[in-house]
Copies of this chain bind each other. A is one copy, B any other.
Amino acid sequence: MENYIEKLTAEQKQEVKRQLEIYRNGAQEILPVAELKNKIAKSIFLNKPLKIKLGLDPSAPDVHIGHTVVLNKLKQFQENGHIIQLIIGDFTGKIGDPTGKSAARKQLTAEEVKHNAKTYFEQFSKVLDMEKVDLHYNSKWLADLNLEDVIRLSASITVARLLERNDFSERLSAGKPISLHEFFYPLMQGYDSVVLESDIELGGNDQHFNVLMGRHLQEHFEKEKQVVMLLPLLEGLDGKEKMSKSKNNYIGVDEDPNHMYGKTMSIPDELTAKYFNLVTDLPVSEKERMAEQIESGSFHPRDAKMLLGKTIVRMYHGAEAAEKAEQHFKTIFQKGAMPEDIPEIAWSGADEVPIIDLIAELGLLSSKTEARKMIANSGIRINGEKVNDVKLTVEITDGLVLQAGKRNFVKLKRSPQT
């Protein structure tokens, strides 16, 4: 690739610098930075947007703010006029796990893929301007590859190189089986970049190997190589594990304002600055200022977190909802009162129910064990009264308010028994 930086005017060079600063912020790794800089210069010199790629697994369409780390980065590129390429990995989705061993990789029908993709877009539209997004289903080109194509593709990569991928090498040395077909997933992901001539591919920090594969294959097919940009993985509400639905430590972008705000308030203080940086749309300078103030202690941890919660709600539900969510939080948690807008659940069960069963059936907590624990910790209230007896039988009345912990309220609406 020629050097485009030297072709630019001083003003244009300033623009390269400005963009580069934005993109670098929060990125864990950029391989290589010099190429990213030159690509930005090229796009300015030729007045041609860059193609920024993100691959999506069609089997898990629930978007939480952990995903928005990448989405926010895409948004920065989009705001600077570049083109976002979203690739739905429908080809692998339709195959599923041919060994039948992985429950996670279940085979999806064409309808399920479409449905999941639609769910993605609805949620992504909260961050990106989806009208401007370049959307692809990779079965379009992968389904047409024949054995000869596959062999030529495979000839570009060595077995030793594939075994360098962390989980492969670990499994091989632990004597755990790696099916040969697993070697194809990074190759397919990489081949997508060849077909789409992507300039930059984004991925989570655990996608290091797969994203580099695109760069490798583009070189093999004599295309301009993509720059690899890896973003940090966001810890979930527990502050320990990566945010994920299965760990139940997430904030969904579809959640209502009060839950979103309340969940944000539950993250450990030391993650506040990181969340500001990775999941909010504040300007870089603002994020940096915030981080400094939190670090120095001039910004009270709880106030910082309240601003974070308000910012997140504002991003997904607008300023008014953010204001209300803050009020709601203050009302309940700061004044200890019951909120005004408790969700109602229709109850068509028995008239008298053991408290543990009631909590479980309403799905207020994830298990009966949890319910027992919370009663022991005085965390369950009925109409504001603490429940102390795990064996309590509750007499169901219309409008009964059940509360688990500080934020979790439901109001029962009596409906005829079924």
Residues of A near any B CB (own CB < 8 A) = 91, 95, 97-99, 142-160, 162-163, 168, 172, 175, 177-184, 187-188
In the complex where A160-B178, A178-B158, A179-B157 touch, is A184 in contact with B146 (Cβ < 8 A)?
Answer: no
The answer on a CB contact under 8 Å between A179 and B155 is: yes
> Would you call the interface of chain A mostly helix, strand, loop, or mixed?
helix
Contacting residues, chain B, for A157 (C-beta < 8 A): 179-180
Contacting residues, chain B, for A158 (C-beta < 8 A): 177-180
Chain B residue, CB-CB nearest to A98? B155
Pick the most buried of A156, A163, A179: most chain B CB atoms within 10 A of its CB. Answer: A179
Contacting residues, chain B, for A155 (C-beta < 8 A): 97-99, 179-181
A305 CB to closest chain B CB (Å) equals 47
A148 CB to closest chain B CB (Å) equals 6
The answer on a CB contact under 8 Å between A98 and B152 is: yes
A217 CB to closest chain B CB (Å) equals 12
A154 CB to closest chain B CB (Å) equals 4
Given contacts A150-B184, A151-B184, A158-B177, 17 further A-B contacts (CB under 8 A): A91-B148, A95-B148, A97-B155, A144-B146, A145-B146, A146-B146, A146-B147, A147-B149, A147-B188, A150-B181, A152-B181, A156-B179, A158-B178, A159-B172, A159-B177, A160-B178, A180-B187
Contacting residues, chain B, for A180 (C-beta < 8 A): 154-155, 157-159, 162, 183, 187
The answer on a CB contact under 8 Å between A184 and B145 is: no
Tell me the complex Cα distance, A110–B160, Å: 33
Between-chain CB contacts (< 8 Å), 18 pairs: A91-B147, A143-B146, A143-B148, A145-B147, A146-B146, A147-B149, A147-B150, A147-B188, A150-B150, A151-B181, A154-B183, A156-B179, A157-B179, A157-B180, A158-B180, A159-B178, A159-B183, A180-B183
Tell me the complex Cα distance, A153–B146, Å: 13
Tell me the complex Cα distance, A188–B149, Å: 14
Copies held by the complex? 2
Tell me the complex Cα distance, A148–B94, Å: 9
The answer on a CB contact under 8 Å between B147 and A160 is: no
Tell me the complex Cα distance, A119–B188, Å: 40
The answer on a CB contact under 8 Å between B172 and A154 is: no
A183 CB to closest chain B CB (Å) equals 6
A165 CB to closest chain B CB (Å) equals 11
Contacting residues, chain B, for A150 (C-beta < 8 A): 147, 150, 181, 184
Contacting residues, chain B, for A156 (C-beta < 8 A): 99, 179
Tell me the complex Cα distance, A143–B177, Å: 29
Contacting residues, chain B, for A152 (C-beta < 8 A): 95, 98, 181
Pick the most buried of A162, A181, A182: most chain B CB atoms within 10 A of its CB. Answer: A181
Contacting residues, chain B, for A168 (C-beta < 8 A): 159
In the complex where A159-B183, A160-B177, A162-B180 touch, is A147 in contact with B154 (Cβ < 8 A)?
Answer: no
The answer on a CB contact under 8 Å between B151 and A95 is: yes
A168 CB to closest chain B CB (Å) equals 8
Tell me the complex Cα distance, A179–B154, Å: 7
Q: Which 10 A-B pairs have CB atoms at the shortest separation, nearest pair first?
A: A98-B155, A154-B181, A154-B180, A155-B181, A145-B147, A159-B178, A158-B177, A151-B181, A98-B152, A99-B155
Tell me the complex Cα distance, A154–B172, Å: 17
Tell me the complex Cα distance, A178–B158, Å: 5
Tell me the complex Cα distance, A182–B159, Å: 9
A42 CB to closest chain B CB (Å) equals 31
Chain B residue, CB-CB nearest to A148? B95
A237 CB to closest chain B CB (Å) equals 37
A206 CB to closest chain B CB (Å) equals 20
Contacting residues, chain B, for A162 (C-beta < 8 A): 180
Pick the most buried of A145, A147, A153, A172: most chain B CB atoms within 10 A of its CB. Answer: A147
Tell me the complex Cα distance, A188–B159, Å: 18
